[in-house]
């Protein structure tokens, strides 16, 4: 197994999750996204693990970095909103950022 592939790191993260070894899982997800910053699920899992461990700053940092690498990603944007992060833009469409205010 080649350890320099993001997919290998994702497998190791899965092992960490299965074993409830949060430190291992978190580290493996971090290594996966360092190899491929567009692995949105890696950013999301880092944030969710951090939040579950009551590390709100770590969760916010993972979401922010994920959005920096994947601007406008719907899953990361939704997670940012769910976590109450101010920088989470509203999605376009009904009820989103491009919705015009009703006329008075």
- At residue 94, the pLDDT reads 52
pLDDT value for 22? 95
Q: List domains and CATH numbers for the chain.
A: 6-82 (1.25.40.10)
pLDDT tens-digit map of 50-102: 999 999 999 999 999 999 999 999 999 999 999 998 655 554 545 444 444 44
Say if CB 52 and CB 74 are below 8 A apart: no
What distance in Å separates the CA atoms of residue 99 and residue 96, rounded to the nearest whole number?
Answer: 6
Q: What is the DSSP string of the chain?
A: --TTSHHHHHHHHHHHHHTT-HHHHHHHHHHHHHH-TT-HHHHHHHHHHHHHTT-HHHHHHHHHHHHHHSTT-HHHHHHHHHTT-TT-PPPSSTTSTTPPPPP-
Global model pTM greater than 0.85: no
């Amino acid at each position: 197994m080649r350890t320099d592939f993001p997919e290998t790191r994702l497998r190791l993260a899965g092992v960490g999750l299965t074993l409830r070894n949060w430190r291992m899982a978190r580290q493996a997800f971090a290594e996966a996204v360092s190899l491929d910053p567009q692995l949105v699920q890696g950013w999301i899992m880092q944030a969710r693990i951090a939040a579950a461990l009551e590390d709100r700053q770590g969760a916010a940092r993972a979401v922010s970095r994920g959005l920096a690498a994947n601007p406008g990603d719907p899953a990361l944007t939704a997670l940012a909103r769910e976590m109450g992060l101010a920088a989470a833009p509203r999605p376009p469409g009904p009820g989103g950022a491009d919705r015009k205010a009703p006329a008075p």
